[in-house]
């Protein structure tokens, strides 16, 4: 039946549109902080999904998924450094990575890392 088919097609298109809108609104609500990531050279040592010179952001997010203190602990670590948690190599300080890091920027970066 032609009418049936066009209704199906319409439903499919509406479904697709809703999906696109959801994806777009998520991207808008939580943009990747790319300027900060560049400025601090995060991707020089990290990748999103494969261990490189440093643990991947997915590994980090998985490790801290059930740890409610992780956000604050990692912000502190990103700004002032701290003991290595993954091996012997600690992360370089912000000054060595590209410049001082404000508490707000550290917050943004850690939120982004933990979303992986």
Span of 5-13, 21-29, 83-91 interacting with ligand HEC by CB under 6 A = 83-91
Task: Please say which residue, 29 or 95, places its beta carbon nearer to ligand HEC.
Answer: 95
Any idea what the Cα angle at residue 112 is, between residues 107 and 114, rounded to 5°? Answer: 95
Check residue 102 and give left, alpha or beta (phi > 0: left; psi -120 to 50: alpha). Answer: beta
Place of tokens 């939580």: 30
Place of tokens 């032609």: 2
Q: How far apart are CA 45 and CA 23, in angstroms?
A: 28
Asked if residue 91 belongs to a known ligand binding site, the reply is yes
Site for ligand HEC in 19-48 (CB under 6 A): 40-42, 44-46
Place of tokens 């609500």: 29
Give the pair of three-digit tokens for residue 107.
Answer: 């917050």
Place of tokens 């917050």: 107
CB of 33 to ligand HEC, least distance (A): 9
How many binding residues for ligand HEC (CB under 6 A)?
Answer: 24
Place of tokens 């999904």: 49
Question: Which of 34, 80, 86, 115 contacts ligand HEC by CB under 6 A?
Answer: 86
Question: Which of 9, 84, 93, 115 contacts ligand HEC by CB under 6 A?
Answer: 84
Where along the sequence are the contacts to ligand HEC (CB under 6 A)?
Answer: 40-42, 44-46, 53-55, 60, 74, 77-78, 84-87, 89-92, 97, 109, 113
- Which amino acids are annotated as binding site for heme c, given as ranges? 42, 46, 91
| Feature table: binding site | 42, 46, 91
């Amino acid at each position: 039946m032609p009418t049936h088919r066009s209704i199906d097609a319409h439903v499919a298109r509406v479904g697709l549109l809703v999906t696109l809108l959801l994806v777009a609104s998520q991207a808008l609500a939580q943009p990747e902080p790319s300027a900060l990531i560049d400025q601090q050279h995060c991707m020089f040592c990290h990748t999103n999904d494969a261990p490189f010179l440093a643990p991947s952001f997915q590994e980090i997010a998985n490790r801290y998924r059930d740890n409610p203190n992780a956000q604050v602990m990692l912000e502190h670590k990103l700004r002032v450094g701290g003991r290595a948690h993954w091996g012997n190599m600690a992360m370089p300080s912000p000054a060595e990575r590209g410049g001082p890091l404000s508490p707000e920027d550290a917050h943004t970066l850690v939120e982004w890392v933990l979303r992986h």
